[in-house]
């Protein structure tokens, strides 16, 4: 039972009717790991240095919840997700980074459980999700168009605990014209330097 709970992350209700409970569990996890406090300076610093919007996403079971965000100075804002928004794991900026950082068999199980919910996002079909997850494992970060938000791209990197388990993710979203391949790589390196946390 303990092993199963660890594989699934934080236990709790998933899906549309369980998002509020999942959010509350996600906040409890943030407090337990001090993630919100640990990541707040990093979110602020990255937002100030890049000018873009930075998000902290927290895993809760088969879902991912936006726990915090910081605004940059660039005049065109990209508020692609609000604090408290709950989505199936694999959909959204940081959510996909968390999924790709899980062991492959665990990630496959999450995708299978979330398949019917993921199908609601027409711009992220299952085949694309699986391909993106494989690519992310290879390069160490995820850079894709934002689902349901035209003209916006995001770079995201998993926040990994000392145990090696992904517990959250940081992501940077900006208009697509600002996200060149070289800049995406630089941004992922910036996030990586700040993403390791301990339990």
Structural domains of the chain, with CATH: 2-192 (3.30.450.40)
pLDDT tens-digit map of 45-64: 889 988 998 999 888 889 99
Higher pLDDT, 30 or 70: 70
Q: What residue has token string 């997700």?
A: 81
- Write the pLDDT tens digit of every residue in 126-164: 888 898 888 888 877 777 777 767 788 888 888 877 778
At 72, list the tokens.
């940059």
Output the six-digit token pair for 65.
């919840």
Q: pLDDT (tens digit, 9 = 90+) per residue, 89-103?
A: 988 778 888 998 999
């Amino acid at each position: 039972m303990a092993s199963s709970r660890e594989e699934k992350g934080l236990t709790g209700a998933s899906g549309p009717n369980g998002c509020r409970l999942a959010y509350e569990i996600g906040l409890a996890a943030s407090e337990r790991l001090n993630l919100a406090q640990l990541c707040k300076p990093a979110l602020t610093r990255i937002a100030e240095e890049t000018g873009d919007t930075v998000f902290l996403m927290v895993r809760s079971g088969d879902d991912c919840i936006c726990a915090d965000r910081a605004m940059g100075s660039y005049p065109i804002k990209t508020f692609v997700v609000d604090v408290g928004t709950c989505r199936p794991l694999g959909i959204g900026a940081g959510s996909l980074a968390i999924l790709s950082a899980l062991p492959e068999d665990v990630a496959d199980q999450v995708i299978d459980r979330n398949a019917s919910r993921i199908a609601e996002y027409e711009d992220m079909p299952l085949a694309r999700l699986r391909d993106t997850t494989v690519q992310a494992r290879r390069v160490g970060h995820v850079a894709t168009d934002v689902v349901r938000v035209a003209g916006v791209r995001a770079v995201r990197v998993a926040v990994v605990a000392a145990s090696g388990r992904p517990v959250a993710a940081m992501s940077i979203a900006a208009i697509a014209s600002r996200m060149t391949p070289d800049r995406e790589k630089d941004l992922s390196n910036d996030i990586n330097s700040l993403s390791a946390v301990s339990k």
